[in-house]
Amino acid sequence: YNGDWDSAIRNLHSTNNFPEFTGRICPAPCEEACTLNLEDIPVAIKTVEQAIADKAYETGHIRPYPPEKKTGKRVAVIGSGPAGMAAAQQLGRAGHDVHVYERESRPGGLMRYGIPDFKIEKHYIDRRIEQMQG
């Protein structure tokens, strides 16, 4: 990492669409199973993900990235929970015109309506949705 937040968020996004969510709500069983835990302190992956995502937002490294080329295809995604949001993001990055349909008044699905605020404050969801709409 060495202070290179752009590379850090790019690497994190290569395997995780929403590290700002997983860094807050995942119970992190991997930390307990981390082999470093045998003789040292395990990697605090939740904290790492959360710190990288927060710093990336703070420094403008999480922003809309329009696709280089549009495909002309239109895709409907039903539901705006974590899976719907991830699908919409990946399809948009591939150049498709994506429309997300949600029955509730606000997007976010289970993250908004099923996870209590003490686990994830809803402004994190709003911030990501804003970025995806850009």
Per residue in 24-76, pLDDT (tens digit) is 999 888 888 887 777 778 888 888 899 999 999 999 888 887 899 999 999 99
pLDDT value of position 38: 73
pLDDT value of position 107: 95
DSSP 71: -
Average pLDDT over residues 111-132: 93
Contact between 98 and 92 under an 8 Å Cβ cutoff? The reply is yes
pLDDT value of position 1: 58
Is the per-residue pLDDT at 133 higher than 90?
no
d(CA 56, CA 63): 9
CA atoms within 13 A on the CB side of 50: 14
Output the average pLDDT for the chain. 90
pLDDT value of position 80: 96
Burial 113-122 (b: 16+ CB within 10 A, else e): eebeeeebee
Is the per-residue pLDDT at 2 higher than 80?
no
